[in-house]
A and B are shown apart, each in its own frame.
Chain A
Amino acid sequence: MLRDITLGQYYRTDSVIHRLDPRVKLVATFIFIISLFVVKNFWGYLIAGVFLAVCIKLSNVPPKFIFKGMKTIFFLLLLTMVFNLFLTPGTALVSFWKFTITYEGLKMASMMAIRLVFLITGSSIMTLTTTPNNLTDGMESVLGPLKKIRVPVHEISMMMSIALRFIPILLEETDKIMKAQMARGADFESGSLIKRAKSLVPLLVPLFISAFRRAMDLAMAMEARCYRGGEGRTKMKPLIYQKRDRIAYGVLYTYLIVAIAVGRILF
């Protein structure tokens, strides 16, 4: 049941997208997100959708797998849509009791929904196709210039990679603990809200204990190998741009220009 959560997980397979330099993918995700907020009309979103679809196709990750992760944000999505639908002022389309649906509200709600779905899908593609290690390396290198103003870039990226690395481990552990408690008759699915919150105690206590134990073990293992932060560390596999990365950058900037042109200027 918990295996359904795909957010922040790596999907092991081989594809062009998998082989791209992590910096390209980080910049691409960033640009894609910017384009989503710059674009003002549906034609722009169509372009973004096509770009996204091509990326999914190229990544060899089954679309089913990507959208399974969407279930977790469904509630957030619904809430945003409802708020936008009813609370945007403008020309009324339908009105009943105290609620009014406006044309602007409808437009806003659907745009918000598209934006959110694309945003999550876009960033999932990055995490699904990049190993946590690669992702951190890329992040460290992209954020490198910030070191000049004393931002602890290495430490931040190290924390990020550890956090990402532990998501699947802790999920698996949660699954195991849930099963162990269900074997003792625990019920996580039914009952009132308070009863359900209470039923989480037998799950959370062992989970926290194991997370702390793991954190301590990891700290010990890092110290045993003389880890002392980013100062003067070299890489075993330094990041070097290949031909495909340059092509990817070309495609990316073309996309940005087309998306902005279509989404803001042309229509």
Chain B
Amino acid sequence: MSLILDHVNYIYDEDTAMAHPALIDVNLQIPDGQFIGLIGHTGSGKSTLVQHLNGLETPTSGAVYFNGEDISDPDFDKKDLRSKVGLVFQYPEHQLFETDCFKDVCFGPKNLGLSQKEVELRAYEALKMVGFPDEYFYQSPFELSGGQKRRVAIAGVIAMKPEVLILDEPTAGLDPKGREDILGLIKKLHDEMGITVILVSHSMDDVADYVERIIVMNKGRVAFDDTPVNVFAHYKELEEIGLAAPQVTYVMQELAKAGFDVNAQATTLEQAKNEILKAFGRC
């Protein structure tokens, strides 16, 4: 069970003067159960890339394989693929349409052709899973706060029981508390459901604490694909392409430069705290 991208190229508005490549020779392998951060700034091709993973876009050349099958094959069941590779888009406003939240979450499983009972069970489970308060179940999704809307949107995809969950900028437009909550929730989903999670973001700080692998996109190409520690070691190059390492990396680098005995490779706040305490002999 895995996703493989083999020399994928994608050109937007082909045959017009506006034609421009969005993806250039992308090769990736996404094994089961990984927690991946996909980073790049606006226009780097990260959103286009994730839309290839569930067949919403078809590569101009190259191929995407899901469990060994080419997804652009005419016989390939795209609907089945979309239920197994769940994609939550950036703006929940783009998918909420029902009169109440519960019905909205039912939309996905209903499209899978399940029985009414199973549909409702899954919707209930999904809403519980994302920590959505019971009293809002029958409220209009348009009256919710940004964070709650996002929870409903995520539940709407989880209710289809995907094997891979992709979230496109799930924290955009949320306040710091809402951001923490959503990221914690995604971490919980990954740990409890054992699914592959791909977290798309433009902020390293968002993903550094959670993911085990980081893919950095720049101008349609994969710039880095490694563990957070190894990617952040290139913080100079990251700055050149308009991104930055997490703030923790900078602090640790400065401390190391100033002669403190710390491991400059600490990437999470927790690790950094321990390193600093150790350096000051408090631990």
Q: Give A residues with C-beta under 8 Å from B.
A: 3, 11-13, 60, 62, 64-65, 173, 176-177, 179-187, 201-202, 205-206, 209-210
Given A181-B95, A184-B95, 20 more pairs with CB closer than 8 A: A11-B16, A12-B18, A13-B17, A62-B17, A65-B15, A176-B91, A176-B94, A179-B56, A179-B89, A180-B94, A180-B95, A184-B82, A184-B160, A185-B82, A185-B83, A185-B107, A185-B112, A201-B97, A206-B94, A206-B96
CB nearest to A213 among chain B residues:
B93
Chain A interface SS verdict (over half): helix
| CB neighbours of B56 from chain A (8 A) | 179, 182-183
| CB neighbours of A185 from chain B (8 A) | 79, 82-83, 107-108, 111-112, 160
Q: Which of B54, B93, B142 has the most CB of A within 10 A?
A: B93
Decide yes or no whether B156 CB sits under 8 A from chain A.
yes
Decide yes or no whether B87 CB sits under 8 A from chain A.
yes
A-B contacts, 20 of them at CB < 8 A, read A62-B17, A176-B94, A177-B94, A181-B95, A181-B107, A182-B82, A183-B54, A183-B86, A183-B87, A183-B95, A183-B157, A184-B111, A185-B79, A185-B83, A185-B108, A187-B79, A187-B111, A201-B97, A210-B93, A210-B94
CB nearest to B105 among chain A residues:
A184
**What bracket does the count of chain B residues touching chain A fall in?**
20 to 34
Closest 6 CB pairs of A and B: A185-B111, A205-B97, A184-B108, A180-B95, A183-B87, A180-B94
| CB neighbours of B135 from chain A (8 A) | none
Decide yes or no whether B51 CB sits under 8 A from chain A.
yes
Decide yes or no whether B13 CB sits under 8 A from chain A.
yes
| CB neighbours of A202 from chain B (8 A) | 95, 97, 107
| CB neighbours of B111 from chain A (8 A) | 184-187
CB nearest to B96 among chain A residues:
A206
| CB neighbours of B108 from chain A (8 A) | 184-185
Min Cβ gap B149→A in Å is 12
Cβ A180 vs Cβ B17 within 8 A: no
Min Cβ gap B208→A in Å is 27
Distance A206 CA – B79 CA, assembled complex (angstroms): 22
Distance A173 CA – B89 CA, assembled complex (angstroms): 12
Min Cβ gap B88→A in Å is 8
Distance A185 CA – B119 CA, assembled complex (angstroms): 13
Min Cβ gap A166→B in Å is 17
Cβ B93 vs Cβ A206 within 8 A: yes
| CB neighbours of A210 from chain B (8 A) | 93-94
Distance A60 CA – B18 CA, assembled complex (angstroms): 13
Cβ A12 vs Cβ B89 within 8 A: no
Distance A210 CA – B91 CA, assembled complex (angstroms): 11
CB nearest to B80 among chain A residues:
A185
Given contacts A13-B17, A180-B89, A185-B79, contact A209 B112 (CB under 8 A): no
CB nearest to B97 among chain A residues:
A205
CB nearest to A204 among chain B residues:
B97
Min Cβ gap A195→B in Å is 12
| CB neighbours of A177 from chain B (8 A) | 94-95
Distance A176 CA – B13 CA, assembled complex (angstroms): 16
Distance A64 CA – B18 CA, assembled complex (angstroms): 13
| CB neighbours of B91 from chain A (8 A) | 176
CB nearest to B89 among chain A residues:
A180
Cβ B82 vs Cβ A206 within 8 A: no
Cβ A176 vs Cβ B89 within 8 A: yes
